[in-house]
Structures are given as structure tokens and as C-alpha cells.
């Protein structure tokens, strides 16, 4: 147990940019309409080979050196042994320092609770052997939460062109980049 290190593996090859992860998470956690815990963004159409539609779906990257934790004046963030960056909302004073410090813009201000909010990696579900909501709901099975210590990472990358440099906070999220699609375009 002690050696477990949870983290996300995102298959950009499988992801269709549909936001099912965002909405199912929002529904399960009853989030304010103005905030989300997952983010599906469009990335450069020319990310791999010829132009095509490309998306990147991420949540909190549960970094090794979380910027949020460094910036938080009340110590509301803890990097747990199991890899999860935990946000303790009871301690949060909603000062938004973490939002500024996180290069991914992950922590979001909940205007009703007046506190920050972010992905918990559904730790209460993981602990009882269930999948995270995003993982269970993705119709393309593009999201995996794994024990990074026990997972083969060949073919995976930690950085995606046009997305935040993972070195800043040592993000733990790994990506499978999309395969190139051969395209035959009309000459006009």
C-alpha cells in the first residue's frame, strides 16, 4: 500500500474531446456551474503530422512538486504518499494564491463556498477499489488512473507541445500521443 503512487494516463489517441468526463465529474461532485475539475482543451491541429482535430483532457496533475502547496498560506494542500495532491477545503481561505501558482490553472474558485476546488482523484472511490468517475464514464476509455510505480510507461510521454511544460511542477500525468492520420486533402 505504502508504495502506491496514483496518477493519470490519458490516451490522446482515444480521446474525442467530448467532455463526458467533465460533465460526469461535475454531476457526481455537484460543482458550481462556473467551475470544473476536468478540462478538455483543443491543442494545435498540427500536433502530430498532418492537421487534424486534437484535444487534451486533464484534471489536476497531482504533481511531485505541486505549486499549489508551495503557494498556499494555510497549508491546505498536501502531497500524500499515494501520489495524490490533497486539498483540504476546511483549511482553505479562498485567497486564490494556488490558482496563480498552478501553471495549469487547476484550482478554481467556488463563488458560493468562497473556497478553492480541485480534483481529488476520487480517492474515496479508489480506496474501495472503484474507478474514478472520469475513468468510468469516458465512452472512449481514454482515461486511466494507475499506480505509476507498477505501470509500464513505454510509449507514453509527460509533455505535449503547446501544453504546459511539466518540469515546472513535475506533473505526474502521462499521455499517449495521437497516432498521425494520413490525410488526402482536396487541392483547390
Partner 1 sequence: MGMKNLQRYYILYLFLQKFYAGELNRLDFETWENLIQSLQQDCMDEENETIWQGLRRFVESTSEQQEQLEFAFNSLFVGPGKLLAPPYESAYLNENRVLMQQETLSVRKFYEQAGLELICKNHEPDDHIAFELEFVCYLLGQYLQTKEKEMIQMYHTFLKTHLFRWAGVHCEAIREHSDHPICLGIADLLDGLIQNGQTEETMKEGNQNG
Partner 2 sequence: MGKFSRRDFLKGSAALGALVGVGTGVGSSFKKTKKVSAAGNTKQVFSACPRNCYDTCSIVTTVGDGTIKFITGNKNCTYTNGRLCVKGYTYPNYVYSPDRVKYPMKQEGRGTGKWTRITWDEAFEMIANKIFEIKKEYGSTLPIALNKYSGTFNTLSYGIEGTLSSIGYTTRAQGTPCWPAGIDSQTFDFGTIVNSDPEAMIHSKYILVWGANPAWNSVHSMNILQKAKENGAKVVVIDPILTDTAANADEYIEIKTSTDGALALGMAKYILDHNLHDMDWMRKNSVGYQEYLNYLNNNITLEWASEKTGIPVEVIERLAREYAAAKPACIWIGYGMQRHTNGGAAVRSIDALAAMSGNVGVLGGGANYAQLDSWLVNYSAMAMSPPEGSGGGADRMININNFPAQVLDLNSGDPNKIPIKMLWVAGRNPIAQDPETSVSYKAFDSIDFVVTADLWFNETVAQSDLVLPISSIFETWGVHASYWHYWLHINEPAIDPLYETKCDVEIAMGLSKKMNEMEPGSCTYPTDRTMEEWAAMEISQDFLNSKGMTSYKDLLKTGTAKVEGYDAAWADGVFRTPSGKYEFLSEKCASFGHHALPVYVEAKEVPTDRPIRLLTPHWKYGLHSQFQNLSWMQSVHNEPFVEIHPELAQKKGIADGDMVKVHNHIGFVELRAKHTLTVPKDAVVIYEAWYKDQKFNVNYLVEATPADMGSCATGQAGLAFHDQFVNIDKL
| β-bridge pairing 115-117 and 108-110 | antiparallel
Instruction: Quote the distance between the C-alpha of residue 38 and its chain's center.
Output: 6
Which stretches of the chain bind partner 2, using CB under 8 A? 13-14, 16-20, 22-24, 26-28, 33-36, 40, 45-46, 51-54, 136-141, 178-179, 181-188
Please report how close the Cβ of residue 140 comes to partner 2 at its closest, in angstroms. Answer: 5
Separation CA 91–CA 89 (nearest Å):
5
**Residue 160 Cβ vs partner 2, minimum distance, rounded to whole Å:** 15
Q: Which residues bind partner 1 (CB under 8 A)?
A: 26, 30-33, 110, 112-113
Q: Is the Cβ of residue 27 or residue 165 nearer to partner 2 in the bound state?
A: 27
4 binding partner (options partner 1, partner 2, none; Cβ < 5 to 8 Å by kind): none
Residue 113: φ, ψ to 5°? -80, -15
For residues 31 and 95, which CB has a smaller minimum distance to partner 2 in the complex? 31
What is the CB neighbour count within 10 angstroms for residue 19?
A: 16
Q: How far is the CB of 112 from partner 1 (least distance, A)?
A: 5
Residue whose CB is less far from partner 2, 125 or 146: 125
Q: Smallest gap, in angstroms, from Cβ of residue 48 to partner 2? A: 10
Question: DSSP state, 131?
Answer: P
Q: Residue 149 Cβ, how far from partner 2 at the closest point, in Å?
A: 26
Q: How far apart are CA 8 and CA 128, in angstroms?
A: 18
**Would you call 32 helix, strand, or coil by DSSP?**
coil
110 binds, among partner 2, partner 1, none (CB under 5 to 8 A by kind): partner 1
Alpha-carbon distances of 114 from 27, 71, 117, 129, 141, rounded to whole Å: 20, 18, 10, 32, 34
Amino acid at each position: 500500500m505504502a508504495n502506491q503512487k496514483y496518477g493519470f494516463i490519458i490516451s490522446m489517441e482515444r480521446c474525442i474531446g467530448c467532455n463526458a468526463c467533465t460533465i460526469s465529474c461535475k454531476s457526481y461532485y455537484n460543482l458550481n456551474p462556473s467551475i470544473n475539475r476536468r478540462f478538455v482543451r483543443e491543442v494545435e491541429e498540427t500536433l502530430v503530422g498532418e492537421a487534424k482535430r486534437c484535444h487534451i483532457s486533464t484534471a489536476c496533475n497531482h504533481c511531485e512538486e505541486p505549486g499549489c502547496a508551495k503557494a498556499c498560506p494555510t497549508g491546505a494542500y498536501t502531497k500524500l504518499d499515494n501520489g495524490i495532491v490533497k486539498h483540504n477545503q476546511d483549511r482553505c481561505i479562498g485567497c486564490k494564491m494556488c490558482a496563480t501558482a498552478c501553471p495549469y490553472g487547476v484550482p478554481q474558485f467556488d463563488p458560493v463556498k468562497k473556497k478553492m476546488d480541485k480534483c481529488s482523484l476520487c480517492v474515496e472511490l479508489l480506496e474501495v477499489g472503484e474507478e474514478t468517475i472520469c475513468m468510468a464514464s469516458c465512452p472512449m476509455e481514454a482515461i486511466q488512473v494507475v499506480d505509476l510505480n507498477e505501470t509500464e510507461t513505454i510509449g507514453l510521454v509527460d509533455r505535449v507541445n503547446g501544453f504546459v511544460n511539466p518540469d515546472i511542477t513535475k506533473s505526474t500525468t502521462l499521455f499517449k500521443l495521437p497516432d498521425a492520420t494520413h490525410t488526402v486533402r482536396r487541392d483547390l
